[in-house]
Amino acid sequence: MLKLSAGPDERRLDSTAERRGVSLTPRTGPARHPATVRYQWGVDEPPLAVVISLTFAPEPRSCRLARNAVLDFCRAQGMSDLSEDAALLTSELVGNAVEHAGTPITLTAESRAGQLSVWVTDDNTGRAIPGKAKRELLGERGRGLLVVDAIAAEWGTTRHGTGKSVWFRLP
């Protein structure tokens, strides 16, 4: 279940994650927090943006959990046409964070005016741009950000005090 928060009112949003056996609520440990969804709107206006934010431990299963959360978020926001691409790109970015950062990973997704933005944030200050290293033609690794570049409408990195965010936008 994703926890909705709209000011002082709190509501719950059913999620297909629960049917998949994935719980987005915390079990134990500091790196597992419930998903929070914020609605932002003006007076007498429909919601302008819906945002979820989840924190994952730096472990391989976080890729699956993040991918499923983004699939559920897209479908709940009526963005099913973007869900598969968003899940793939999310999995690539979270996988990179798990492999290279080794710190808790925060996934933030925002739906605004038919556009989806996703940020994957970690506390590692290392670079997130693919290097110029020679890649083997048939190698199994090293192409994740090239996939992001090919599919995303926009993507990039943002450095902050203790780490970085890698983000993408669809469509």
Whole-number pLDDT of residue 5 = 38
Whole-angstrom distance, CA of residue 112 vs CA of residue 81: 15
The DSSP annotation for 121-138 comes to: EES--S--SPP-PPPPTT
Contacting residues for 133 by C-beta, under 8 A, at least 6 apart: 142
Overall number of domains in the chain? 1
Domain containing residue 162: 2-131+138-170
Whole-number pLDDT of residue 47 = 58
Q: What pLDDT, in 10s, does the model give residues 28-75? A: 334 444 454 554 444 555 557 899 999 999 999 999 999 999 999 999
Whole-number pLDDT of residue 4 = 38
- The CA-atom distances, in angstroms, between 165 and each of 3, 34, 104, 148 are 24, 20, 12, 14
Contact of 152 with 167, CB cutoff 8 Å: no
Whole-angstrom distance, CA of residue 37 vs CA of residue 13: 9
Whole-angstrom distance, CA of residue 66 vs CA of residue 32: 12
Q: What pLDDT, in 10s, does the model give residues 130-160? A: 544 455 556 666 678 889 999 999 999 998 8
Q: What pLDDT, in 10s, does the model give residues 91-103? A: 999 999 999 888 9
Q: What pLDDT, in 10s, does the model give residues 104-116? A: 999 999 999 889 9
Whole-number pLDDT of residue 46 = 53
Whole-number pLDDT of residue 130 = 52
Whole-number pLDDT of residue 136 = 59
Whole-number pLDDT of residue 160 = 85
Whole-angstrom distance, CA of residue 87 vs CA of residue 6: 26
Give the CATH number for residue 12.
Answer: 3.30.565.10
Contact of 67 with 76, CB cutoff 8 Å: no
Q: Which residue has the higher pLDDT, 3 or 165?
A: 165
CB atoms within 10 A of CB 164: 21
